Amino acid sequence: MTDDVPELRASDADRERVAEVLRDALAEGRLDMEEFEERLDATYKARTYGELTPITRDLPTAPTVNMVKGPAPSGGWAGRITGGEGSSSWAVAIMSGFQRKGRWTVPKRFNCFTFWGGGEIDLREANFADREVEINCMVIMGGMQVTVPPGVEVVVRGIGIMGAFDHREEGVPGDPGAPRVVVTGFAFWGGVGVERKLTRAERQKLREERRQEKLERKASLRELQESDRDDVHDVHRRMLEEHHDLMGERREERRERQRERREERHRRRNGDF
C-alpha cells in the first residue's frame, strides 16, 4: 500500500460501513449519544480514507477498506439475493436522521423508527437476504424515504393517521427473479415516500449512451449535409462549365461575324464584288 492511499476518495459504501460500526457501538454502550452524533456527522462529511480511519480507530469492530478491487459481482438478480442475515436490521432517528445506502444487505425484516426526524433507506445498490423483504416504518412527526431500483416489485401496506404512505410505485410488475419489497408500518403526522430510481452510475451511463446516440445522429446528419453539398457543388460546377462553354461559343460566333465583316469591307474597298 502506497503512502498516498489515505488521500484516495472514499465512496458512499465506505462511509456507510463506518456508520454501521458506529451504530453497533452505540447499541453496545461503547459510545454515548453525543459521541455517536459527532462521529456520524464526521463520517458523512469525510471525503477520503484518511478522514474515515480515525473515526473508528478506538472501536474493536472497526471496518477495513479493501484497497484492491475484487472481481465485479455477477449481473442479474440471482447474485443479489444472498440469503443469511442482513448487515443491518434496525435504525432509529430521534430529532435527527439516519441513512442506509450503498452496498449493504437488506434483512428479511428491517425495522426503523423516526420521531421528529428523517430516514433514508436506499436499496438501489443493496443485496437482499431473501426474495421478499419487509421494510417496517414507524414515523411520528417525521419522514422516511424508501428508494428501490427499477425491476423490483413494491407492495405498500402502511397505515397513516394525519400522515400517508406513498402508493405510486405499486402495481409495477417486477423483473423475473427480482426481489419483492413490502413497505409496512405506521405514520402519525408524518409520511413515508417510496420511489423507483436509477443509481448515479446508471444515470451517468444512460446519459452517456444518449450523448453517444446524439453524437452519432449529428455525425450522420453532417455526412448527409456534406453529401448534399457535394451534389450541389457538382451541379454548380456543371452549370459553370456549361456557361463557360456557351460563352466560348458566343465569343467564337462574334469573332466569326467580325471576320466576315472585315472581309466584306476589304472586298468593297478593292472593288471585288
Q: How many CA atoms lie within 13 A of 158 on its CB side?
A: 33
C-alpha–C-alpha distance, residues 38 and 131, integer Å: 36
pLDDT of residue 241: 79
> Where in 207-251 does DSSP place strands (E)?
none
Compute the CA torsion angle 183, 186, 187, 191 (nearest 10 deg): 0
Q: 106: how many CB neighbours lie within 10 A of its CB?
A: 26
Q: Confidence class of residue 272 from pLDDT cuts 50, 70 and 90? A: low
C-alpha–C-alpha distance, residues 133 and 167, integer Å: 17
Chain centre distance of CA 164: 29
Query: Cell 438478480, residue?
Result: 77
pLDDT of residue 3: 44
| 8-state DSSP, 160 | E
User: Beta strand 180-188 with 132-140: parallel, antiparallel or unpaired?
Assistant: parallel
C-alpha–C-alpha distance, residues 125 and 127, integer Å: 7
pLDDT of residue 236: 73
Q: Across residues 203-207, what is the average pLDDT?
A: 72
C-alpha–C-alpha distance, residues 131 and 182, integer Å: 11
Run of H or E residues at 20: helix 12-27
Please state the φ and ψ torsions of residue 29, each to the nearest 5 degrees. Answer: 85, 10
pLDDT of residue 69: 43
Range from 32-36, 187-191, 266-270 carrying the lowest mean pLDDT: 266-270
* Secondary structure, 3-state, 58-71: CCCCCCCCCCCCCC
33: nearest Cα among 116, 95, 110, 104? 95
pLDDT of residue 132: 95
pLDDT digits (tens, 9 = 90+) for 214-265: 777 777 777 777 776 766 677 777 887 777 778 878 888 888 888 877 777 7
Range from 20-24, 30-34, 129-133 carrying the lowest mean pLDDT: 20-24
pLDDT digits (tens, 9 = 90+) for 163-177: 999 999 998 888 888
C-alpha–C-alpha distance, residues 118 and 139, integer Å: 9
pLDDT of residue 34: 84
| 8-state DSSP, 74 | P
When the pLDDT of each residue in the chain is averaged and rounded to a whole number, the result is 82
102: nearest Cα among 4, 213, 199, 231? 199
Higher pLDDT among residues 109 and 29, named by residue? 109
Regarding pTM above 0.95, the answer is: no
253 three-class SS: helix
Grid cell at residue 79? 447474485
pLDDT of residue 231: 67
